[in-house]
Chain A
Amino acid sequence: MDKIRNFCIIAHIDHGKSTLADRLLEHTKTIGERDMMNQVLDDMDLEREKGITIKSHAIQMQYTHNGTTYTLNLIDTPGHVDFSYEVSRALAACEGALLLVDASQGIQAQTISNLYLAIDNDLEIIPVINKIDMEGAMIPEVKDQIIDLIGCKENEILLASGKSGIGIEEILEAVVARIPAPKGSVDAPLQALIFDSVFNSFRGIIAYYRIFNGTLKKGDKVTFIATGAEYEADEIGVLKLGLEQRTEVKAGDVGYIITGIKTAKDVKVGDTITLTSQPGEMIHGFEEVKPMVFAGIFPVVTEDFEELRDCMDKLQLNDASLTYELETSQALGFGFRCGFLGLLHMEIIQERLEREFNQTVITTVPNVSFYAYTSRGEKLVVNNPAEMPEPTKLDRIEEPFIKAQIITLPDYIGNIMTLCLGKRGILINQSYLTTTRVELIFEMPLTEIVFDFYDKLKSQTRGYASFDYSPIGYREADIVKMDILLNSEKVDALSALIHRSRAQDFGRKLCEKLKELLPRQQFQIAIQAAIGAKVIARENISAMRKDVTAKCYGGDISRKRKLLEKQKEGKKRMRQIGSVEVPQEAFLAVLKLD
């Protein structure tokens, strides 16, 4: 066990985590040059393209130093706030972490929050400044930031470049020398922490775990403590470039287990695997993952609903954090009300549906989960504007609040204040992390983040701000349901739950945006925003002026018919609401308001 090191890499998006991981794998010859493909660990197309890690991964390396061979388990974690819980479980599986900071960008909020998580988990932190050979590298300044933040000595900070392979050997040496070996007993009752799972269409769910105590043998009867389910360990092993079978995996090591489980839901991240015959304690820190953001997903063509249902089922097999239930919309027909971890997760699901499953879907206005207390004293969880009771039947509504942490340059404090206060934020704290790094803490309603917060934050700070949040419970709020009407027909898919003070402005902007997005038709279209019967904003789209070509003689007929047939085909992607045709993108207009 003293020859094992388990570690992860903490880094902000684009700070070079995946590239550095590639270099470590190369250097330890875990992977030959022939198999080398950029960002080996990000094996979803989407991950490579977006340069982000969506799921946790793990890979084992053998590293020989001064004649001793060590087993290094690198656990790659997601870097986005939507996946904080998964990150926390992956961190819990490690004894140490490389804190990777881009030499030209410095510390970012995401890094800090994950760093705190790592420190909370008692991880040994090895600070690494990456991309030191890039133009604009500010090595002394970034060193200062790191020292301020974790209180290390300057000579403990390693310098590296994943791109050109600088400092890789030093990093591996530090992993062996500084990160403690796992503790635990191979003879104690089994305690294996599940930090992720993947779906394989032939094998079912493959769960990844870290064993804290005990030994897992092939064929053992095991219990997953949180779900209470019992299985047989059909196959176990360790994670190299692929799966490598073993007959046993012992305390301290990282491995996989295949039990014939078919759906991701049955394998919960944070759960503990133990032996049915000799059960151990559950490892502390397990939580049920709760979706934060809800939106409807509908097929563009109503007849494709059954096909979409199949795809959602399949998608959920390998993404347990996706929840969905049937939803019926007057405007969009049958679809699903889906719960996501956050907006990025929502975007990922939508893209995976389109790419991996070839579905074209309409995603509706996202909303958070509200609590509605009726005058009869019931508490309802409202994940869909359509479910909100009539105002007369309501006692009060509560909305989820978050603690938002923003790290930026002092120049942008003013802009961020304006933005956050405008979104009903309350400033809790402002502190200088270094002379050039300011941390702002706000308490804000989550619903204000859901709409267009990220983009605004980016544009208000020219990208020099990083953002993280964590939920801090529910608070009473004056929430109203705002409806959109097209030629007097309510479009339920465009209804939104919003704070009364923001409704007027929001309604006006949404009407303006819809005016841009709806094509002109042969007659006038009235767009209205209303709360109950009261119209709070209105726009008109004037009728088309002329849509007829001059000639239609012998030779023109087939040409023209084809043209019009094509036009008709294009309209298939639109939804008919009353007499108005609504293109797909209009349903997400709400996310793109200025």
Chain B
Amino acid sequence: MAGIYIHIPFCRKACHYCNFHFSTGTGLMGDMLKAIVKEAGLRSQYIAEPVETVYFGGGTPSLYSADDIKLILEKLAGLFAVTHDAEITLEANPDDIDAQKLHGWKNAGINRLSIGVQSFLQSDLQWMNRAHNVQQAESSIVLAQDAGLTNITIDLIYGTPTLSDEQWKLNVEKALALGITHLSCYALTVEPKTALADMIRKNKIADVSEDKQGRHFEMLMDWLAAAGWEHYEISNFALPGHRSRHNSGYWQGKPYLGLGPSAHSFNGKARQWNVSNNPAYLKSIEENKVPFEEEILTPVQQLNEYIMTALRTAEGINLAAVETKWNGPAAAGILKGAGKFLQNDLMVLNNNNLVLTRKGKLMADGIAAELFGEE
């Protein structure tokens, strides 16, 4: 099984922390739609497996009308073996959501919404430069549920300079009270070359505190565990049966096709990514050429990606799987490297699976790096 990711590289305005590829000029949206559809045709051979998930991300996919989304989905259905029960997610911003659009998306085949709420606090939304307000954040969720789109995930950001512990608690409580089924929570990362990085450099806003981010993350794990949610990936929580199948594919090393500027694709052995420039992408597609760069992964690189992504999941690193897909020494190497983490309660070994403990989840990056194999 495989997934398809469509990158919609437009936003109404730029969030101060974002370093994804997008343009706030929407003049090329029409051309882009045609180009993405055309790219799908050019790359129909990339995956042979049944497509079980489709994901519209960005950028802001909700800028496109329901008809546009429908056009893309129909094209995909013609080119790929999209299963009848496929999970089809659309990222939407609260300010784009209204009853009519929701109805259209649902008819087009969308069955899961990812709503970019980020916070239920007006002060947060303001400094982030989000296009929506708190009221829109809440009402968009209710509207979606009313329209029958009940499989909803929202994004929340924690550990921001102005967010107190109390406010963080209110944010999470609000989310749970709204009856969503999935929650992605991110510690605010200051990416270089973003407005946020510049604001911090100029002392206009406080830098993020590692201490606060750690604390917020621990609080979050406690609250959601108490509410019966599964913490199935470092940043992702779900009610039973509502894990994101598309994102789980990434973490399980399944192939995926990425369409649109800057979109990444993976066929199990090589990763490739399209050019991160809208006009360059359009021009190339116009000439029937997919503008991409490619990296062929060595077995060790494949192993390291497995270690890195699997370690972040509730299932952890399966040593038997490593032994089968790579070799015995690779599995032994991981286990040896894990020694000090097991000893210090950062990891546990459950039936041949190395799983991070609550404490270990705060250290996933460094631990993964130490478990990496070498060429």
Between A and B, 11 residue pairs with Cβ closer than 8 Å are A522-B346, A523-B344, A545-B210, A546-B187, A546-B214, A549-B187, A549-B189, A553-B250, A554-B5, A568-B369, A571-B369
Name the distance in Å between A575's Cβ and chain B's nearest Cβ: 14
Among A546, A564, A567, the residue within 8 A (CB) of B363 is: A546
CB of A560 to closest CB in B, whole Å: 7
Contacts of A522 in B (CB 8 A): 341, 344, 346, 360, 363, 366-367
Q: Which 5 A-B pairs have the closest CB atoms?
A: A550-B186, A579-B340, A523-B344, A546-B214, A564-B369
- Any B CB within 8 A of the CB of A547: yes
8 other contacts beyond A565-B372, A579-B340, with CB at 8 A cut-off?
A521-B366, A522-B363, A545-B362, A546-B217, A547-B366, A555-B263, A564-B368, A565-B304
Q: Does B211 contact A (CB under 8 A)?
A: yes
CB-based nearest A residue for B185: A550
Name the prevailing secondary structure of the A interface residues: loop
Q: A549 vs B186: C-alpha distance in the bound complex, in angstroms?
A: 8
Q: Which residues of B contact A565 (CB under 8 A)?
A: 304, 369, 372
0 or 1 for each of B228-256: is its CB under 8 Å from A? (1 = yes): 00000111000000000001001100001
Taken together as a complex, chains A and B put the C-alpha atoms of A565 and B187 apart, in Å, by 22
When distances are taken between beta carbons in the complex, the residues of chain A under 8 Å from B343 are 579
Q: Is the CB of B295 within 8 A of A552?
A: no
Question: Is A564's CB under 8 angstroms from B210's CB?
Answer: no
Asked if B186 contacts A547 (CB within 8 A), the reply is: no
Interface centre among B187, B262, B365 (most CB of A within 10 A): B365
- Could you say which of B95-103, B118-126, B305-313 contacts chain A? B305-313
| A546-B213, A555-B264 known; A561 vs B301 contact (CB < 8 Å) | yes
- Chain B 206-237 interface 0/1 with A at a Cβ cutoff of 8 Å (1 = within): 00001101100100000000000000011100
Contact of B250 among A521, A548, A552 (CB under 8 A): A552
Q: How far is the CB of A488 from chain B (nearest CB, A)?
A: 12
A544 at the interface (CB under 8 A from B): yes
Binary contact track B274-309/A, C-beta < 8 Å → 1, others 0: 000000000000000000000100000100110011
Q: Check if B210 sits within 8 Å of A546, measured CB to CB.
A: yes
Number of residues on chain B facing chain A (CB within 8 A) = 49
A182 to B360: give the CA distance in the assembly, Å. 79
Name A's B-contacting residues (CB within 8 A). 521-523, 544-555, 557-558, 560-561, 564-565, 567-568, 571, 579
**Contact call B213/A552, Cβ cutoff below 8 A:** no
CB contact list, B340-375 vs A, under 8 A: 340-341, 343-344, 346, 360-370, 372, 374
How far in angstroms is the closest Cβ of chain A from B220? 12
Which partner residue on chain A sits nearest B312 by CB separation? A552
| In contact, A545 and B211 (Cβ under 8 angstroms) | yes
State which of B346, B362, B364, B372 has its C-beta within 8 Å of the C-beta of A568: B372
Residues of A within 8 A of B360 (CB): 522
Contact B308 A564 (CB under 8 A): yes
Closest to B371 in A: A568
Counting CB contacts under 8 A, is B273 at the interface? yes
Q: Assess whether B258 is interfacial by the CB under 8 Å rule.
A: yes
Cβ-based interface call for B56 (8 A): no
| Nearest CB of chain B from residue A301's CB, rounded to whole Å | 12
Q: Determine the chain A residues whose CB is within 8 A of the CB of B341 once the complex forms.
A: 522
Contact A547 B362 (CB under 8 A): yes
Complex: chain A residue closest to B368, CB-CB: A564
Beta-carbon contact of A560 and B308 below 8 Å:
yes
Cα–Cα distance between A43 and B271 once the two chains are bound (Å): 52
Interface residues of B in 63-87 (CB under 8 A from A): none
Which chain A positions have C-beta within 8 A of B266? 554, 557
CB–CB B304/A557 < 8 A: no
Across-interface contacts of A545 in B (CB, < 8 A): 210-211, 213-214, 362
Residues of chain A lying within 8 A (CB to CB) of residue B211: 545
Q: How far is the CB of A576 from chain B (nearest CB, A)?
A: 9
- Contact (Cβ within 8 A) B366 A557: no
The CA of A555 and the CA of B369, in the complex, are separated in Å by 19
CB distance from A429 to the nearest CB of B (A): 57
Chain B residue contacts of A523, Cβ below 8 A: 340, 344, 346
Contact among B189, B271, B365 with A547 in the assembled complex (CB-CB below 8 Å): B365
CB pair B362–A557 under 8 Å, yes or no, is no
Q: B residues within 8 A CB of A544?
A: 363, 366
The reply to whether A552 and B234 form a contact with Cβ atoms under 8 Å apart is yes
Considering the complex, give the chain A residue whose CB is closest to the CB of B372.
A568
**How close is B333's CB to chain A, nearest CB, in angstroms?**
12
Which of A547, A549, A552, A557 counts the most B-chain CB atoms under 10 A from its CB? A552
